Amino acid sequence: MRALEYFCVKTAPGLGMYFDADFWNSFMVQASVAEPALRYAMVALGILAEQRELRDIGDAVNFRGTHLTDEDSAVMSVPTRITETDPVALRSYNNSVSLLSKMVLSPGTTDKILLACILFICIELLRGDTEAAVNHFRGGMAIITDHMSRVGGSPSTRSMSDQVSNRLLPFFNRLEMLYALDGYDASWQYPTTLSESIPVFFVSLEHARDSLVNLLNLSLRFVRSMGLSMYKTSAIPALALEEQMALLSQLLLWRQLLSAYQAKHGSHFTSKELYACNVLEIQRLVAYTWVSVATSPFETAHDLHIQAYTAAVSLAEQLPALASAHTQSSRYINTFTADVELVGPIHWVAINCREPSVRRRAIAVLRGLHRREGLWDSRMAAAIAERVVAIEEAGLVLGDGEPSEEARVHYSFTDSWAGVASDCYSITHRLKPGGVWGEWEDRVEHFTLR
């Protein structure tokens, strides 16, 4: 009961953030009343979320990133996975899985199975088991894809189809962003085309958010489809360039529609709605720059987008004041959400914007968040960005300006265990010190967050 209270009072509102309060506080909780499998999963998630948050409160008070030398790395004890899980959480999780395995997939159970799948994803994210979280996500998407393709025309199946498409599919679409940002490629056809992603106008901020999620996922799919092709001497295919221009055009159109919605309703916005608008615009700015540079091998291509990076950081710096205006005092402190909000986008700015003051402002934003968004830990994101800055600016004297092309980090890959008690990270930085047409140089670092 203590864990259920924590889930309902703190974890669910925290996971709901600024758009999905109804989904977590009402839809999920109401479904659990008649389904023990969901209640058991809520208990497990509530316990793990509180463990994470209690630990992060201490980290917020005393944060420091310690870089390890090669000698230190050789003797450092690094866990392979979180193995110590609260026995009540583990038993509840196992009970939920056992009950769910006895369900037969049917129109009457599809929503319950998918809701349990969402809870399992959150549990595994907190436990630090990326593979298990990804497997749950893939399983949920397979159920949704199969259900939407086979649903018939009877009133009952139409009602179930509406519930799956209107409530659950948008949630899994948002989870795809975490899936893609962690380096995975989607094997299924995206349910919304680029032309369908933008409506005639927005009727709510939730409507605008869902539209942007579609654009972000399509943008990430485009970026990942490019891979390392820009480093080849052959020209970028014309079809890829056409897709790039179409995405950029839709991202600009989305901004115009949101501006129109703000002009019409903005005078009545609450601080919560203003916060949401800032977050959405930050995500759009980052998506626009990412798509813009996806076909260029030169890291200096980012220098053309300093204005966008500056705008994103300025919007992020406004968020603490907006959040404090609508956050009620509570004996619980939320530090975890399963959605993409700020950590990933501001991390992107911090590592790709080479204007010294702007990237340091971005790192300061990350340091002030003290939160996890899926597998994106703000402490980890800040520490990685600081290492990238140190590498790129090693040969610069303060005030010299931006680092040269040859000194810039093109990619940083992180191998981490971001669970309840993990603070160890291994990072591989990829550079081209001989120029973009030269060979790759990999630099591996290990460090711990305390």
Number of folded domains that form the chain? 1
What are φ and ψ of residue 187, in 5° steps?
-95, -5
- Residues in the chain, overall count: 450
Please give the DSSP secondary-structure letter assigned to residue 8. I
Specify the pLDDT at position 158.
41
List CB contacts of 203: < 8 A, sequence separation 6 or more.
none
Mean pLDDT of 161-168: 66
pTM of the predicted model as reported, rounded to 2 decimal places = 0.85
pLDDT in tens, 321-377: 887 765 544 444 557 787 788 999 999 999 999 999 999 999 999 999 888 887 778
Hey, what are 305's tokens? 């987008």
| Residue 132 near residue 165 (C-beta atoms within 8 A) | no
Residue 238 lies in a domain: no
Residue 244 lies in a domain: no
Specify the pLDDT at position 83.
38
Residue 348 lies in a domain: yes
- Domain hosting 76: range is 2-191+298-449
Distance (Å, whole) CA 449 – CA 440:
28
What are φ and ψ of residue 104, in 5° steps?
-95, 125
Residue 420 lies in a domain: yes
Residue 423 lies in a domain: yes
Residue 392 lies in a domain: yes
pLDDT band at 161 (very low <50, low <70, confident <90, very high): low
Residue 284 lies in a domain: no
Average pLDDT, the chain: 82
Residue 209 lies in a domain: no
Distance (Å, whole) CA 336 – CA 124:
13
